[in-house]
Copies of this chain bind each other. A is one copy, B any other.
Amino acid sequence: MTKSALEISEWFRGLQDRITTALEKADGYGKFREDLWEREGGGGGRSRIMENGKVIEKGGVNYSAVFGNTPDFLRKQGSEDQMLEESFFATGVSIVIHPCNPFVPIIHMNVRYFESGDGSSWWFGGGIDLTPHYVIPEDAVFFHQSLKTTCDRHDKQYYPKFKTWADDYFFIRHRQEMRGIGGIFFDHLKEDHTQPDKTAIWKFVQDVGNTFAPVYTALIEKNKEKEYTETEKKWQRLRRGRYVEFNLVYDRGTRFGLETNGRTESILMSLPPIAEWIYDYKPETESTEQKTLNFLKKGIDWIEKRST
């Protein structure tokens, strides 16, 4: 493990502190409960979970820093891209928040760092994406514009590239729907002939991490007092069902975690408090629910939408 890896890990731990503080303040009532855990094989984590807050129905902000021998199937992958050695170090922060109010969106953030045993190969990954139960166009524009502003400070190519990546990644193929309105997603970000040096990439990843709290607390503040009906709460449960489908069928982090004997409760904190499935449910044409479905498509340019 290199000095840099420790610094990155420490910064992620501090990010978890800052985010849980900001979320407790935004909730105004709920508190995070903390679980420290150790990984057999090396390292561990600090899971923080809030349940039954005033704003947050269920949410997790997890930090981990683990090391050890690279699992066999990862090593096999590594032989292809020459990124994995015998041992590894991985650290990051993962967040999923399921709010009470159906007009407050579900949000997910992840920032992570990986390096091989001797530190000679490394990469960053991460992203932030939003899953509104009801897509509110001005919120979607605000969200994407905030991410673009963060990205643009580092590389003008980041936002369009990582926005497309998110569109491709957060797609529920068997439903032919996006999980939400996307955001940014990136992986294997490392120094090469097209990327800047490690310090510059690390600054970008930190900037992504710092973008989470102000953006999400703004969306909470704007929508948390909105009144809602039982019909809207039911729709929220149905959309949460889709969230479950994505996370258990497609999400690489979830599947990787479950397959490598990760800490199940920390991995599955992403699942909603409650979810519903109705056979072949189709909202009425022209309903706000159907309008939301129309927005769950790949390739919508939210920033362009604002200017037209």
Contacts and interface: CB of A to CB of B under 8 A. Distances in A.
Interface of A: 33, 35, 49, 51, 58, 60, 173-175, 237, 241, 244-245, 248-249, 255, 258, 261, 264-265, 267-269, 271-280
Contacts of A277: 58, 268, 271-275
B58 A279 contact: yes
A203 to B, nearest CB: 33
A241 B273 CA distance: 10
Given A248-B244, A248-B248, A264-B174, A279 B269 contact: yes
A265 B174 CA distance: 9
Nearest to A274: B276
Given A173-B258, A241-B271, A273-B276, 4 more contacts: A58-B279, A174-B261, A268-B277, A275-B276
Contacts of A49: 279-280
Nearest to A277: B271
Nearest to A280: B265
Contacts of A51: 278-279
Contacts of A261: 174
A306 to B, nearest CB: 34
Contacts of A265: 279-280
A249 B255 contact: yes
A117 to B, nearest CB: 27
Most B C-beta atoms less than 10 A away, residue of A33, A175, A272, A277: A277
A53 to B, nearest CB: 13
Contacts of A276: 273-275
Pairs A-B, 5 closest by C-beta atoms: A248-B248, A271-B277, A174-B258, A49-B279, A265-B280
Given A273-B277, A274-B276, A258 B264 contact: no
